[in-house]
Amino acid sequence: MITHRRGFSIFWSTIMSLRNIGLHAVLHSFLGLLVIPAVADDVVIEIPRYEGGVQVSSGSIPNCCSNHSMTSVNASSLAMKGCTTLGGYCMTSRNAPFLTFDLSSIPEDATIESVRLKGTRSSPRSGGGNALVAFLPYGEVGPSMFNVFNGGSTNINWTLSSAFSISLPTDQFNDPDRDRFMVVRLTMGGEYASFIRNTRNVAPILEVTLSTPPCIGDFNDDGMVNSADLGFLVACWGQSNHDADLNDDGMVNATDLGIMLGNWGPCPGP
């Protein structure tokens, strides 16, 4: 409470000082002004892999490519290859890596702009594939995940590069009722395996970009619009300072003061 009173005292003293430099009309002119929106900054959150495993198909007729078991749970590499048949025989069984991520670090009510799955492969091979996404209340990989995909599919064009960055659909991420964990299944065609590196320091991550509401008037980036920012605006009064000119009309004046006062206090979070 004392801090708030002291801050207001400094604020009011600064306002009153405007009269000493011939700007007493400011106290009337800023009333009723609307807050003008600014371009939002982006906040990027990197979410580490929670668990990983490999879905293996049965590899036997007549269910050559059907789901069978989960292997290589949290192994250092996760095999990825297609299921192939020849003359009615199973030549190779499908290996599809599963990766789970705990989304609890994403702030509630945040607007998600983009989601990318990033990682590296050993023995990289090119070919088509896809990424299937689901949202679950648990993150432990297992056969119970085989038929739960509800978050959309993304086609992948795997290249010979060891690094990969896959854009995932954001609609389900922005659903306020989504579950805590996300699971993604990766596939790649062909009979030869490529391997997702899954050790701690190179395990895949989920890169989530959030849209953050702008903090208009916080010139010193301390998370508050307060007397320090007001002092900067007053120091720029009557000039064409780009930072203090909040409505970009070429002049720091009463309009900018009104915008600042409309945003007084703590900055909004993501």
Q: Which tokens hold the place of 32?
A: 């009723």
Rounded to an integer, the average pLDDT of 232-248 is 92
Identify the pLDDT of residue 166: 96
Q: Is the pLDDT of residue 147 over 90?
A: no
34: left (phi over 0), alpha (psi -120 to 50) or beta: beta
Q: In whole angstroms, what is the distance from residue 88 CA to residue 254 CA? A: 80
Q: What's the CA gap between 117 and 159, in Å, rounded?
A: 15
**How much is the pLDDT for 88?**
77
Q: What is the pLDDT of residue 24?
A: 42
The residue with greater pLDDT, 68 or 230, is 230
Indicate the pTM of the whole model.
0.68
Q: What pLDDT does 79 receive?
A: 96
- When pLDDT is cut at 50, 70 and 90, the band that residue 5 belongs to is very low
Q: If you average pLDDT over residues 14-34, what whole number do you get?
A: 45
Distance CA 49, CA 197 (A): 11
Among 16-20, 118-122, 145-149, 254-258, the minimum mean pLDDT is found in 16-20
Return the domain boundaries, the chain: 11-40+213-266, 43-212
The architecture of the domain spanning 43-212 is Sandwich (2.60)
The pLDDT score that the predictor gives to residue 41 is 56
CATH for the stretch 11-40+213-266: 1.10.1330.10
Bridge pairing between strands 265-266 and 163-168: unpaired
Kind of pairing between the strands at 111-122 and 163-168: antiparallel
Residues 139, 148: contact at Cβ < 8 Å? no
Task: Compute the mean pLDDT over every residue in the chain, rounded to the nearest whole number.
Answer: 83
Residue 187 CB neighbours (<10 A): 22
